[in-house]
Structure 1
Amino acid sequence: MLPSRTTALLRRGRPTRRPGVLAAVSLAAAASLLPPPATAAASAPADGTPGGNCARSALPRVPGAALQRAACLDGLTTASTVTSGHTDPADYAGLTPRDLPAPTGVPGIQIDGYFPDTSATNTGHGWNHDSQFVIRLPDRWNGGLVVAGSPGNRKQYANDRAVSDWVLSRGYAYAATDKGNTGPTFYRDGRRPGDAIAEWNARLTQLTRAARRVVAERYHRPPARTIATGLSNGGYLVRWQLENHPELYDGGVDWEGTLWRSEGPNLFTFLPSALRNYPRYAAGGPGAEAARDAMHEAGYPAGSEFLWPSHHAVYWDLTQRIYREEIDPGYDGATEAGTPFCAPGTPACDADYDWAARPPTVHRAAGRIALTGRIGKPLITLQGTLDVLLPISQDSDVYARMVHRAGRGALLRYYRIEDGTHTDALVDTFPDKLRPMVPCHRSAFRALEGWLTGNRLPPRSHTVTRAAGADPATLLTACPLDQEKRG
């Protein structure tokens, strides 16, 4: 949690409740909205001594950091950092397709460290200290900076495969934060409901300001463009930053960002429906068809049924309980984060949760972190049509309308990616039914570059079709944004 001397907005000390049993999240199926599987953390260099080809470079200081360790590395991408101990593969497990290549040959400086904080959910490097960050400065710099917050409740290396590897190979400096709290009990950080999520926004703002100064010190000039990007909760951060601190950024790419609105839709307006209705659908019998129809009405798209079993087993229940505990801890009294997979009708069961019926204080807690659509810089949003963790009709479709209602439509391009889902690792399981989102994110990023430089306006907002007969290898490397669904 941010200490009081940094901001008076957030305070620590919410009373600890009786712990409940948290559902296990498998390594292979970790979702970007959910916490990562446990594993041994990567270790930082013991003495922080620079080495490698940039040993003679003056190593910049991160303003405001309580601790930092810098190292000169022959490679800043995961092709090298896994071996050197400058990333943690568990942070990004389950987020990208298995065969996604990792670029090589990007030497430069990596700085690991943390800002002052009073919580200790992040065990990375053995520091047991939150607000950890990583900053990477390639020797060959293109003048730009990319900043990102982690998806779900993962740590600072969660974007290393999906984002960091690729932008570093294109010459960008890169910075990422753990958002100030991590793991499935992130909601324990803070005093008031909503504090833990509100800190995410403050931490990305803090990192962006610090990283811009680090870049200026390293390269002797400020970044010519600063781009925010991220997926899932990281996409939410992009939206919030462009609404609240557009002065820090030139633009952003929002990859299936989580939508927070006090009036809904939000997680709590569709997840309980899945918890109530999926078991009846899966059981078959006379009630199955009505249960399926209820799922569709809640936003889970027709044709996504093949994804429902894994999401019920791993994602929906845990997501509902831990985020509800953050926003509405009083719903289940002294119990912490509810009862896993409780049957409807059980006292304080999350399957029966009714957002509209909750007290105004609960809605105000969500309002503290809510989005408005009032973006101040160019934004490209993309989301898969088969996302069943954040159904597209309840998320990005709604956010795009919010932006237009706020009078900011000229600053938005929105691409609905046909057959994309929330977690790209599922493409390996269903290669004939899904397409990976990561190449679409890269196409969107390139489109934003052209938009910011004035070289080319991105295609208008539309649904990007999956080319008929495209094989998995092609889909892994290409996502032309001009493949428009018509009719």
Structure 2
Amino acid sequence: MPAIDPPRRASRGRLPARSVRGALALSALLVTLAAVPAAAGQPDGTRGGGAGDCASSGRLKVPGAERQEVSCLAEVTTAGTVASGHTDPADWAGLTPAGLATPRGVPGIQIDGYFPDSSATNTNHGWQHDAQFVIRLPDRWNGGLVVAGTPGVREQYANDRAIGDWVLSRGYAFASTDKGNTGAAFHRDGAAPGDAIAEWNERLTQLTRAARTVVAQRYHRPATRTLATGMSNGGYLVRWQLENHPELYDGGVDWEGTLWRTKGPNLLDFLPPALRAYPTYAAGGEGAGEAHEEMVAAGFPAGSEFLWPYHHQVYWDVTQRIYREELDPDYDGATEAGTPFCAPGTPACDADYAYAARPREVHEAVRKIALTGRIGKPLITVHGTLDVQLPISKDSDVYAKMVRDAGRGGMFRYYRVEGGTHVDSLVDTFPDALRPLVPCHRSAFTAMESWLGRGKQPPPSRTVPLPDAADPAALLARCPLTKE
């Protein structure tokens, strides 16, 4: 088993001068490092609380897995897995509204494990091993499989509340991966810039192939439908998979996926202006108006100002520094991932970072992970208009044009959700200004089901308006994509 500290990139040959650990306390929604408690072992080699149809559990083998542990569970949603130790609430903390209902009554089999890997950022189960995955197989199966990568740099259980519970309750098998590296130091993985993110794509491909095999083992027939879905970085993975491995999927639902383009825009374009301008705007007085204009020009829409303080404190700084470190480590020399909240004008400050002016090698690193818009299977994208982590005008608006320009518009739908932001937990803080995206994702998912299953075309791409005086409970219950 590999060491706890993942290997440094051989090509960089330097020791970190500053730690990124201080940022972890401020980025609980971005990074989680808590371990899952181990479930009790059973004499027959399975784990967990029993129940479910376990007759087939002994013959389930995940192709390529270095380790797997099979559990027969009375409940594979978080209604049961929290207590049994088969999920980690820290992985999905902050991603969903507090009032989101938890489905119950879904017995089945869960397989936890990992594929061979040389890095060790994921501490779940005490394994200290990356490329961890979870596969859940409900007893009452609808014939489908849903696969997902995680948002941010979270671990494999991050999708359990927002996506896994719901699709399992609908009868889907569900599989999720940690993407091969996790946490604020994910950039230490890989031999060269861009490798750590490129591994995310490889790991979802690997898990999809393995999960399809396991589904056939468990139910004695292949899945009739395989869907990819995910939010933020998980949404990026959906886009990449449908562009590069459409043969593995029937379709995908992208929830505010991250956009990587070699020429931009990408987050290395719009986060530095935010880090540079926001403190001046927040201080008020002379220069505040000009700073506000710079924020809006960078993509942060007027009307989203109430979200800026939180994102400045929690998201923008650490996101810029760790992703810049992954793709452009030489910018700050021997320093690892920059200086938190540095002042513009100080040496190698990320607030002054200018992606367009960086050397060709940096753009080549982004090229490894760049999207093209050339999807090969149907895709639905959902993105909130008040997203100030991945501003919609610099992200999904651009990707939608890329898809159309690639001649793939007929297999694409795009719903801009008025009042939606990057993480749904903020709806609890600003219930009068925001709406949750989780019901919009579910509407998009069911639209994809109808598109594939009955040939029913989804509603045309549009901006989904925020209803006047909408009740928060009503907004959490439904998100119609059609005009009403």
Q: TM-score range by the shorter chain?
A: over 0.9
Give the letter aligned to residue 218 of structure 2. R
Question: Structure 1 residue 54: deviation in Å?
Answer: 2.2
Indicate the residue corresponding to 1:20 in structure 2.
18
Indicate the residue corresponding to 1:348 in structure 2.
348
Give the conservation status (yes or no) of the 8 Å contact 1:45–1:71: no
Indicate the residue corresponding to 2:34 in structure 1.
39
Please give the alpha-carbon distance, in whole angstroms, between the structure 2 residues aligned to 1:45 and 1:143: 30
Question: Structure 1 residue 16: deviation in Å?
Answer: 4.8
Indicate the residue corresponding to 1:49 in structure 2.
46
1:316-395 correspondence to structure 2 within 5 Å: 316-395=316-395
1:402 match: secondary structure? helix
Question: Structure 1 residue 45: deviation in Å?
Answer: 4.0
Indicate the residue corresponding to 2:5 in structure 1.
none
Indicate the residue corresponding to 2:463 in structure 1.
463
Q: Structure 2 vs 1, CA of residues 65 and 359 (structure 1 numbering), >3 Å: closer, same or farther?
A: same
Question: Structure 1 residue 424: deviation in Å?
Answer: 0.5
1:198-213 correspondence to structure 2 within 5 Å: 198-213=198-213
Q: Deviations over 1:180-204 (max 9, x none)?
A: 0000000000110000000000000
Give the letter aligned to residue 367 of structure 2. G
> Structure 2 unaligned runs (5+)?
3-7
Decide which moves more: 231-240 or 48-57. 48-57
1:293-332 correspondence to structure 2 within 5 Å: 293-332=293-332
Question: Structure 1 residue 25: deviation in Å?
Answer: 4.1
Give the conservation status (yes or no) of the 8 Å contact 1:66–1:116: yes
Indicate the residue corresponding to 1:8 in structure 2.
none
Indicate the residue corresponding to 1:73 in structure 2.
73
Give the letter aligned to residue 65 of structure 1. A
Q: Deviations over 1:8-54 (max 9, x none)?
A: xxx96453531423243458x744xx222x43433244454253232
Please give the alpha-carbon distance, in whole angstroms, between the structure 1 residues aligned to 2:196 and 2:18: 19
Give the letter aligned to residue 46 of structure 2. T
Please give the alpha-carbon distance, in whole angstroms, between the structure 1 residues aligned to 2:419 and 2:343: 32
> Structure 1 unaligned runs (5+)?
3-10
Indicate the residue corresponding to 2:147 in structure 1.
147
Indicate the residue corresponding to 2:260 in structure 1.
260
Indicate the residue corresponding to 1:166 in structure 2.
166
User: How many residues end up aligned between the 2 structures?
Assistant: 472
Q: Structure 2 vs 1, CA of residues 12 and 72 (structure 1 numbering), >3 Å: closer, same or farther?
A: farther
Indicate the residue corresponding to 1:6 in structure 2.
none
Please give the alpha-carbon distance, in whole angstroms, between the structure 2 residues aligned to 1:359 and 1:322: 18
Give the conservation status (yes or no) of the 8 Å contact 2:153–2:181: yes
Please give the alpha-carbon distance, in whole angstroms, between the structure 1 residues aligned to 2:122 and 2:34: 12
Please give the alpha-carbon distance, in whole angstroms, between the structure 1 residues aligned to 2:150 and 2:76: 18
Please give the alpha-carbon distance, in whole angstroms, between the structure 2 residues aligned to 1:19 and 1:110: 42
1:53 match: secondary structure? coil
TM-score by length of 1: 0.94
1:54 match: secondary structure? coil
Give the conservation status (yes or no) of the 8 Å contact 2:427–2:436: yes
Give the conservation status (yes or no) of the 8 Å contact 1:135–1:211: yes
2:274 match: secondary structure? helix
TM-score by length of 2: 0.95
Indicate the residue corresponding to 1:192 in structure 2.
192
Q: Structure 2 vs 1, CA of residues 45 and 375 (structure 1 numbering), >3 Å: closer, same or farther?
A: farther
Indicate the residue corresponding to 2:419 in structure 1.
419
Compute the RMSD of aligned alpha carbons.
Answer: 1.6
Please give the alpha-carbon distance, in whole angstroms, between the structure 2 residues aligned to 1:25 and 1:467: 37
Please give the alpha-carbon distance, in whole angstroms, between the structure 2 residues aligned to 1:480 and 1:26: 37
